[in-house]
Structures are given as C-alpha cells and as structure tokens.
Chain A
Amino acid sequence: MVRYFIKRLGMMLIALFLIILVTFVIMHSIPGGPFTSDRNVSKEVEEALNEKYHLNDPLPKQFFDYVGNLLHGDFGPSYRFTGKTVNDFIANGFPVSAKLGGVTILFVILASIPMGILAAIKNGKWQDMLVMAVATIGVTIPSFVIASILIYIFSFRMGALPSFGLDSWKGYVLPVITLGGYSISYLARQMRSSLLEVMGQDYIRTARAKGLSEPKIIIRHALRNAMIPVITVLGPTVANLLTGSFVVEKIFAVPGLGVHFVNSVTMRDYTTIMGVTIFYATFLLAMVFIVDVFYCLIDPRIKYD
C-alpha cells in the first residue's frame, strides 16, 4: 500500500509537470504579448520590458527557468502590476478564498449529507420531494442569479445581511449560500441515490433479518457503503470551493483568489494566469490523492497492489 502511494505521488508529479508544460505552451502561443495592449508603448520601452522579463530568451530556456523558479516556490513577477509578484496575489487572495471556502465546505457537508439521507429514508414522501425540489433549483439556477435574489431579499429589502465584505459572520451568510448552493444540491442528490442503492442490497436485508432497527441499519451498515461515491465527488468539490469562485467573489466584493485569476486572464498577466492555474492544479491533485487515501480507510476491498 505504501508502495502504491509512493507510485501515485510520482504520477502526480508527472501530471503536474505536464500541466505546467501545457499552460506554458498555451500562454506563449497566444498572439500578442503582455505589453501589447491598450496604451501605446514605444518600441524601445516594449523592448526594454521584454528584456527585463527575459521574454526574448528562447522558449525552452524560459520554460526551464520558470520551472526552476517554481521549484523554489517562486511563481514569478506579475507583468501588469509593477512590484507585485504572483506569490503576493496567492498569499493575499488564497487565505481569503480558503476561509470563505472552508466555511462553505463545512456548510455543504453539514447540509447536503443529512438532506440526502433524509430524502433517501423518506423515498417518495413529501420530505424527499422537497429536498429534490431544492436540489434541482440548486443545480439549475446559476449562482449569480441566486446571489442577486439573496441580496435583493436579505440586504436590500430586509437589510438584515450585508451584500459585500467579510467583516463579520453576517458577511459570510450570503456568499456561503451562493457558493455552496450547487455543491449542496449535487452532493445531496449523490447521497440520496447512493443510499437508496445501498438500502436495496442483500446485506441490508441480512441486517433487517438480524432484528436491527432502521436507524441502526442505516448508521452501521448503509452509510459507510453509501459514502464511497459521495467522497469521490467531495474531493474535487473541496478543491473547487477552497480556491475561490470568480462569480461569488466578484458579486460580494471578496478579495480572493478567484477574482485575481479571471482578472489576470483579461489583462494578459501571463505569470499570474500560469501561477494560479498551477496552484489550483496542485490543489486538485492533492485532493484526489486524499480521496484515494480515504477509500483505503473505508473500503477494505481496495488494496492497491
């Protein structure tokens, strides 16, 4: 098993290298450069800028320099904000996104799993219909629409909750609901269908034949089995929420990483685009790895040899 995980770690590094390579190649094959935009810079200035950021070096050299810097944890300077580095953006933005994301994850897990369980237990009854209706709304209505409705009701009409900023716990309520809405719906559905499937298994009938009560059957026999597919989707969801969402951060004026990412694209801030992409990719790979570890802990049938 340890050997498997070491192998997995190796594969992850290869995957990460490929992601870096591909983003790098794509970034450098886009026509135009970071300094060929809005305001007119003279040829000499542009030349000087290219020289300063080593953009005249041959591509392979640029690439290996970049990777070399990455190994030191250096994502390079921002091309658009003089004096700022991509590390600054991540160091400033990630904690904000991660805090909001962390609260959201907690909220998502605490809401979606009980919702899914309730819907499965009350299969076909009104509780099930209600949960499924809410879940359908959650996956179909885009987050910016939900955000607008929430702001209209709770901030504009009732004045109960702030519409921007994360200064107090109240500030978290609306962004968390908006950010978590989709994941809650998705996970609740997953939990419901997974638990329903498990409840139809033969070993659940065995548990009933033992004389166990329904709550005991669900807690001892059904839930652990039903959690396996839920954990599969939980991994990427966690990565997604922690690294921030552009829409939610933009609407609620949260100074997180998601805003930087999208802004850097429109501003052709190459190093920031690459840096944030690689940061996100690393995170996602790590989460998938953690999911694998969880599989091993939950399911004794998985031996990975």
Chain B
Amino acid sequence: MEPILKIENLKTSFMTSNGEVQAVRGVSLTVGKGEILGIVGESGSGKSVTAMSVLRLLSDTARIKEGTITFKGQDLIKMPKKELRGIRGEKISMIFQDPMSSLNPLIPVGRQVEEMIREHDPDRRKEEVKKDVLELFEKVRIPEPEKRYGCFPHEFSGGMRQRVMIAMALANKPDLLIADEPTTALDVTIQDQILRQLRELEKEYGTSIIFITHDLGVVAELCDRVAVMYGGLIMEEAPIDDIFEKTGHPYTMGLLASVPDMDQDKEIRLQSIPGSPPDMTNPPKGCPFAPRCPYARQLCASELPDFVQVGEGHRSRCFLRYSDAPADANNPFRK
C-alpha cells in the first residue's frame, strides 16, 4: 500500500523552565491510503504531540528537533508556513479532544464550517457553500441542519459539537484526518455513534485516518493497524488482530490486562500497571518501560532495544523479542 504520510525519526521537545521535555524521541510511522491507524498510549506518552507535529500545531514552546514528515512527496516540517496553511484543513484536517472548547463561542456553527470551505476556495458562491455545509451537517447526522446552522456552540451538546467538528474536518474532503482522542470527552453511547460515523465517512471518501486514543476498545472497533506509544517512543506496531492475539510487547500486555472485562468477577480489582511513566525531562537511557516491566532484566535499564520485526507488519521494541533472547521462564514470549 502506497503510504500517504510517512513520519521518520520525529523528535519533538518542549522548552520549559525545568529544561527540555523530550516528548517524542524518534517516532517513525506510515499511514496508507484509506487506512485507519490507531496510536495508543497513556497520558504523556507523546501520542498527541506526534499528531500535532504533523500540522505543526504545537505551542510556541515546542520544537521539532529532528525528522521528516513526508506528505505527498513534500516534507511538512521544512515547508514554509504559507504553503503549510494550504494543506491544513484542505489536505489534512484535525479533530480535537475537547469539543466543548474547540469551537469559537461567538460565531454560529454553520459559519465556522463555512469558513473552512471558503478559506481554501474563496471564489465559491456563498449560497453554494452554505448548501455544502447543510449537506455535511446532514451527513454527520445533525438533526434539522437548516435550523441548526445559525446556532451558537453553547446551544449544542458535546456530541453535537463534535459532529460539527467532524463536519468541519471533512468539509474539504481531506486525504488524511487526524483525530486526537475525539471521543474521550463524550458519553459512551455518543462515542459509539461518532466512531460509526467516522468509519462510514472513511469508506465514503477514502480518507486515511490517524486515530489517537488511550482506549484499546475503541482501537479494536475502528482501526486497521495500531502503534503503541510509551515514553515518547513506539513500543509496538502491529495489524489490529495481532495486537490482541499475538501481543508482542510487555507494555501492550499490561495495557490489555487493564481493560475491564464484562464477565470478570466484580470482587477482583481492575488490573493496572504499577508505577508511573518516566520523567521526560530526563528520559531513561534504556527501555522507558523497564522500571515498570515485570520481565525486565539488567540490560533493559541500560540499553534501548531496537524496533525489531516479529511478524508480518508487526514490530516490537523489546530485548525479549530478539532472536537470541533466552527462552527461560521469565520470558513471556518463549514459553
């Protein structure tokens, strides 16, 4: 599959008064045409920073220090701002986590979507653009689009606002949609509707999607492929089925074990991974997960494992997956 986006060795840091926070420390990813790639990880793993780096939407304190992000043969990192603006919203669009604050409170929602279209196609006639917006509203199932067009964001619920955001993101039929935890702030029922819509829209437009979440259930429902991030690095990358059936990294195992099970005895406490994520001002030299890893060896603390191939399209960053790893009792992959 021809990749539409190719991120290579991306390193993004934040310059803070406490020093450099190395949020992303060398991430490489590809997204194929029409593919839905999930990026999973806990808070602070660098998943959102990776996504924001693509359109360079990070705050002023952030610096993209290294790497290339190739989109249609062009490096988005080196691209002049003016040219990049032509891509933002037109070829690559984004949906953000908090629909409550992502829309301008003083502008009617219809006009905010309209702006997205007119910015990239200023010669279109106003009535025509409005018709497009109404169609989009219908597509994302906003009831009574005509009536809702002139409403302000505060008159909408969270789910409805996120639909407006989705309508906006899809307005110019982008090649790539980056959704940064779009359902995290919503009710579970609304979440399900939004996911279903994203999938339908992906089918209809052939839009590739990068879907960022900390919810493995959502990933299972939506994605073709998953990258699991931890400590600013990708720990495992695999086709969706392999992540659940041939889990290739102790961290992913920990994540899967912490997903609540409907059949589980209520008396048993929900499992969690003990410990906390590393301090990214001073990232560990070795594997960032080593301090929390139940299978960690001496080597893990001092050296960073390579990202090795463990199956078809399946890679893992773990010494235990090396072909020469000892097959002892403390290796979950060689039992």
Q: Which residues of B contact A202 (CB under 8 A)?
A: 96, 98, 101-102
User: For residue B89, which residues in chain A have a CB less than 8 angstroms away from its CB?
Assistant: 209-211
Closest beta carbon of chain B to A26's beta carbon, Å? 44
Given contacts A202-B96, A202-B98, A206-B96, is CB(A298)–CB(B106) below 8 Å? yes
Report whether B154 and A203 are in contact in the complex, using a CB–CB cutoff of 8 Å: no
Beta-carbon contact of A206 and B85 below 8 Å: no
| CA–CA, A212 and B154, complex, Å | 23
Range of interface residues on chain B?
A: 20 to 34
**In this complex, which of A211, A212, A213 has the most chain B Cβ atoms within 10 angstroms of its Cβ?**
A211
Residue from the list A208, A213, A300 in contact with B152, Cβ < 8 A: A300
CB distance from B128 to the nearest CB of A (A): 19
Whether A225 sits at the interface, judged by CB under 8 Å, is yes
Contacting residues, chain B, for A213 (C-beta < 8 A): 82, 85
Residues on the B chain within 8 Å of A205, using CB: 57, 96, 102
**Cβ B152 vs Cβ A211 within 8 A:** no
Taking the complex as formed, is A19 at the interface, i.e. its CB lies under 8 A from any CB of chain B? no
Q: Which residues of A contact B168 (CB under 8 A)?
A: 206, 210
B61 → A minimal CB distance (Å): 11
Q: Are A203 and B152 in contact (CB under 8 A)?
A: no
From residue 93 to 129 of chain B, which have CB atoms closer than 8 A to chain A?
93-94, 96, 98, 101-107, 115-116, 119-120
Query: Are B106 and A210 in touch, CB under 8 angstroms?
Result: no
Contact call B96/A211, Cβ cutoff below 8 A: no
The bracket for how many chain A residues form the interface is 20 to 34
B55: Cβ under 8 A from any A Cβ: yes
Q: Is A201 in the interface zone, CB < 8 Å from B? A: yes
Q: Is the CB of B57 within 8 A of A203?
A: no
Q: Does B86 contact A (CB under 8 A)?
A: yes
Q: Which residues of A contact B94 (CB under 8 A)?
A: 209
Q: Do B119 and A203 touch (CB < 8 A)?
A: no
Question: Is B119's CB under 8 angstroms from A212's CB?
Answer: yes
Question: Once the chains bind, are A203 and B102 in contact (CB under 8 Å)?
Answer: yes
Query: Chain B: which residue is nearest A208 at the CB level?
Result: B57
Complex CA distance for A298 and B101, rounded to whole angstroms = 18
A61 on the interface (CB 8 Å rule)?
A: no
Q: Is B88 in contact with A210, judged by CB distance below 8 angstroms?
A: yes
A225/B104 contact (C-beta < 8 A), A208-B88, A211-B120 known = yes
B87 to chain A, nearest CB (A): 7
Asked whether A299 and B120 contact (CB < 8 A) given A210-B115, A211-B86, the answer is no
Q: Is the CB of A210 within 8 A of B119?
A: yes
Q: Determine whether B90 belongs to the interface, using a CB cutoff of 8 Å to chain A.
A: yes
What residues of chain A lie closer than 8 Å to B57, measured between beta carbons? Answer: 205, 208-209
What A residues does B96 contact at CB under 8 A?
Answer: 202, 205-206, 209
How far apart sit A206 and B94, CA to CA, in the bound complex (Å)? 8
Q: In this complex, which of A201, A209, A212, A301 has the most chain B Cβ atoms within 10 angstroms of its Cβ?
A: A209
By a beta-carbon cutoff of 8 Å, the part of chain A in contact with chain B is: 123, 200-203, 205-213, 220-221, 224-225, 298-301
* Interface contacts beyond A211-B90, A298-B106: sample of 14 additional A-B pairs, CB < 8 Å, sorted by A: A123-B60, A202-B96, A202-B102, A205-B102, A206-B168, A208-B55, A208-B57, A210-B115, A211-B86, A211-B120, A213-B82, A221-B107, A300-B105, A301-B152
Can you name 7 A-B pairs with beta carbons within 8 Å?
A202-B102, A206-B96, A207-B104, A210-B89, A210-B168, A213-B82, A221-B104
